[in-house]
Amino acid sequence: MNLYLVRVGAAEWVSFVFAEREGLAKSAFKKEYENYVDWGIDYVDIRAFLKGKTDKVTETTVVDDPQHPLYPIVLELGCRYASLEELEEMEREC
């Protein structure tokens, strides 16, 4: 299974998605957030970036939180979510 970092266009929020292919990662991301985001248009610029591969995950899964049971595998693959402190520091630097 591949690990993708998925986001909408230039948006700052992202999710990690385990999926076999990029299209499946994008579809899972959109479905995960369809109740929270009013896409409002037919086309949404969802971008997916391959970050790693693992055989420890067998189903397409959105890992949207560091508390997610599969988050340790995200960490094993060298990825992670930034902490609130890191995000605040980045905002101050801009």
**Structure-token match 């508390």, residue found:** 67
Q: Which pLDDT value is given to residue 70? A: 97
pLDDT band (50, 70, 90) for residue 20:
very high
Q: Assess contact for 74 and 16: CB atoms under 8 A.
A: yes
Q: Which pLDDT value is given to residue 36? A: 67
Q: Assess contact for 47 and 17: CB atoms under 8 A.
A: no
If you average pLDDT over residues 34-62, what whole number do you get?
A: 84
Percent of the chain surpassing pLDDT 90: 56
Distances (CA, A) of 10 to 4, 7, 27, 77: 16, 8, 18, 24
Percent of the chain surpassing pLDDT 70: 84
If you average pLDDT over residues 74-86, what whole number do you get?
A: 88
Query: pTM of the entire structure?
Result: 0.84
DSSP 1: -
